[in-house]
Chains A and B, each alone.
Chain A
Amino acid sequence: MVNNSTTRDLILDKIREVELPRAEHPLVDGVLAGAIEYADTLGTFVESAELVGARVHFCNTDNVVDIWRDVCNEFGTGKTANVAIRGLDDDDLTDDNPHSASELVVYGTSGMLGVAENAAIWVSDRAIKHRVSLCLTQHLVLQIDAKAIVNNMHEAYAKLQDVRDDYGVFISGPSKTADIEQSLVIGAHGARTLDIIVVEG
């Protein structure tokens, strides 16, 4: 049996024994001066999203429900937990066992922010019953406010600083792999498709 507190102290002692030259943290308040900003942040986000294999739909608060219905209908029937139509506050998976999410065909939720440079969307488990739904569903739909799109990862983490989600993930496009001879295949283990619904105004 490993005596863990002894091992812990042994390791920490080994580190403290060797004093390294003092080295300052290079960033003040996490800001990297000169990080890229885009003239058209939303346009760049859309370009990045298409590059990573996602589809982008635009709508406004009046027709957002219609867009959701259209996107979901495209994937046919099946068990869908479509939270957006219910106001994006909680999903309707009632089973406490996360394995129930394996039946999902389409799953949708909202992202807190999007990043123009890489199309990453921050999704947390706040409004999600099971974290696994995001990856286990066949098709994923994420809604995002156009005003919540930032230029780069520095701006993104600045917004996350005080959020402290139990679990949160930047999702950029559908799941993919190139492990067989570097051939890009969309749809590895996670969602096969990603549809992004951008709500303007």
Chain B
Amino acid sequence: MGKGHPTAARAFVENRERAQWHDTALWFVREKRDKQAASLPEWELLRETASSIKRHAQSQLADYLVQFEHAANANGAVVHWANTTRELNEIVTKLLQSVGATDVVKSKSMLTEECHLNEHLAKQGIDVVDTDLGERIVQMRNERPSHIVLPAIHTKKEEVGELFHEQLGTEKGATDPQYLTEAARQHLREKFLNADAAITGVNFAIAETGGIVVCTNEGNADIGVSLPKMHIACMGLEKLIPKLSDLSVFTRLLARSATGQSITTYTSHFHKPRRGGELHVVILNNGRTELRAEPEIRDALHCIRCGACMNTCPVYRRSGGHSYNTTVPGPIGSVLNPSMDPKQHNSLPFACSLCGSCSDVCPVQIPLHHQLLTIRHSVKEAGGLARSKRLSMRLASMVFKRPWLYKLSAGLGKCAVRLTPRFIKYSRLNVWGKGRELPPTPRGSFRKWYDKNGGSRGK
């Protein structure tokens, strides 16, 4: 079993000031998202439509994949299939070796993170430079992204300044984002101009036209793929949408949900390779077909990787993306990862208050908090609950099933809370007492208030 979320989150949570700063930064993004959503009267209709398109695409996925392959081939692109991450890594390696590539630029792709492609290529003597600024920062720090849209959201500008001073020779102590971004621009221009090949992710693949769409704000995907001869695009098989016109729905939702922009700066549609170049599309399964077979979980494959569920999640905001130990963290990660590898990730569905905010903001209406609850049940069935949780849940269940016992324990509990000395109340046995204070116990009770205010009248 992997290190559980509470353990992995400890260091982050203990630095209160930083956790607060992280929380505020993400809430700022969430608020920008709200403003954008409110600017469109048809917002809910868009979400519903997006969800229906994805459900339709999933229901005829095999046909659409074949249609995509034919159309892409007709455009002069080459489609490759990988059932496992190992297969994807092998395909990409062979392609790169076929043009003798040693220096590769890559734009943001969570899928290649999922495959640990960079590490694999490094072993073959191929150097991959991540060109998205946030991804470049985490790559230089030897970390992994902590957020799928804002990879370096956990990093402070002072740390970026120090990192750039050491590795890019910027002035010591410089922390101005404008200055640091300019330094990265110069550094990465060199990398772009010297690259032998480029790798990108895929936001959407269009069955009808055989094209792929990549969305960025920085322009790094477009520069990366248009200079060298070879462009390799890596995608999960769930990225498929039936028609070109479906993009109108998804491009309206994606950036609004992700960063609160009305659209990304560049929404690039690649149908044919550049003059004299090659375009390869690698389609990965890696457990997605198994996920598709799970009726309660399969809607998670509709995800368009906007990150809105992370920005709104009270647990994610306060525990940081690295505490999930996964490529995709947050609510959607807590659904996807335990479904694909329950042993490793079974603490994640419990890193959730079931507040349901993730489901409310999801642009494709994935019922995330329901899914998290479903997975909790499976973890329990598989005997994966910690003993403390098992016992307390059994006790709670016993009490809640019996109104008289509930009434008695509520009264007793109130006295107990008031009378128990602190050192016992907040002892090591009470994991919920860590970093939390119980509110002062009220004099009356809801039951008394209800009776007094005529709650049972008319019964």
Interface residues of A (CB under 8 A from B): 1-2, 4, 7-8, 10-12, 14-18, 20-27, 29-30, 32, 34-36, 48, 51-52, 96, 98-99, 102, 115, 117-120, 125, 130-132, 134-136, 152-154, 156-158, 160-161, 164-183, 185, 187-191
Q: What is the minimal beta-carbon distance from B353 to any residue of chain A, in angstroms? A: 25
Shortest distance between the CB of B153 and any CB in chain A (Å): 8
Is A180 in contact with B157, judged by CB distance below 8 angstroms? Answer: yes
Contact A15 B62 (CB under 8 A): yes
Q: Do residues A180 and B83 form an inter-chain contact, with CB atoms below 8 A?
A: no
A interface secondary structure, majority: loop
Contact of A164 among B209, B265, B289 (CB under 8 A): B209
12 A–B contact pairs at CB < 8 A?
A2-B82, A26-B56, A30-B243, A32-B42, A166-B271, A169-B268, A170-B263, A175-B218, A178-B150, A179-B132, A181-B157, A190-B218
Contacts of B267 in A (CB 8 A): 120, 169-170, 172
Q: Which of B58-95 contact A (CB under 8 A)?
A: 58-59, 61-62, 65-66, 69, 75, 80-83, 87, 90-91, 94
- Least CB distance from A45 to B in Å reads 11
Given contact pairs A23-B52, A189-B223, a sample of 15 additional A-B residue pairs in the complex whose CB atoms are under 8 Å apart: A15-B237, A20-B58, A20-B59, A26-B49, A29-B245, A30-B245, A32-B45, A130-B226, A132-B227, A135-B222, A172-B262, A187-B181, A188-B181, A189-B188, A190-B218
Specify the chain A residue showing the minimal Cβ separation from B274: A131
In the complex, what distance in Å separates the CA atom of A157 from the CA atom of B55? Answer: 21
Is B178's CB under 8 angstroms from A185's CB? yes
State in angstroms the CA–CA spacing of A125 and B271 once bound together.
11
Complex contact B266–A170 (CB within 8 A): yes
Select which of B151, B266, B285, B289 is within 8 A of A171 by beta carbon: B266
**Inter-chain contacts of A158 with B (CB < 8 A):** 245, 248
**Chain B 152-186 interface residues, beta-carbon cutoff 8 Å to A:** 152-153, 155-157, 160, 177-178, 180-182, 185
Q: In the complex, A115→B268 CA distance in Å?
A: 15
Q: Which residue of B lies closest to A176 (CB)?
A: B217
B interface residues with partner A (beta carbon < 8 Å): 25, 28-29, 40-42, 45-46, 48-49, 52-53, 55-56, 58-59, 61-62, 65-66, 69, 75, 80-83, 87, 90-91, 94, 131-134, 137, 150-153, 155-157, 160, 177-178, 180-182, 185, 188-189, 192-193, 209, 217-220, 222-223, 226-227, 237, 242-249, 251-252, 259, 261-272, 274, 276, 283, 285, 289-290, 292-293, 298
Question: Which residue of chain A lies nearest to B40 when distances are taken between CB atoms in the complex?
Answer: A36
| Cβ–Cβ contact B81 & A4, under 8 A | yes
Nearest B residue to A25 by beta-carbon distance?
B56
User: Given the complex, which residues of A lie within 8 Å of B58, measured CB to CB?
Assistant: 20, 23
Contact of B226 among A98, A160, A187 (CB under 8 A): A98
B266 touches A188 (CB 8 A): no
**Is the beta-carbon distance between B274 and A15 smaller than 8 angstroms?**
no
Give the CA-CA distance A4 to B292 in the complex, in Å: 22
Q: Are A15 and B292 in contact (CB-based, < 8 A)?
A: yes
Q: Which among B185, B263, B292 has the greatest number of chain A C-beta atoms within 10 A?
A: B263
- Which residues of chain A are within 8 angstroms of B48 by Cβ–Cβ distance? 26
Using known A-B contacts A15-B62, A179-B151, determine if residue A27 contacts B246 with beta carbons closer than 8 Å: yes
* Docked complex Cα distance between A118 and B182 (Å): 26
The CA of A48 and the CA of B255, in the complex, are separated in Å by 14
The answer to whether B219 and A191 have CB atoms under 8 Å apart is yes
Task: Give the residue name and chain of the A residue nearest to B157 (CB).
Answer: A181
Min Cβ gap A18→B in Å is 4
CB-based contact A185/B181 at 8 Å: yes
CA distance A165 to B249 in the complex (A): 20
Give bound CA distance, A171 to B216, whole Å.
Answer: 10
A185 touching B274 by the CB < 8 A rule? Answer: no
C-alpha gap A96/B275 in the complex (Å): 9
CA gap between A10 and B289 in the complex, in Å = 11
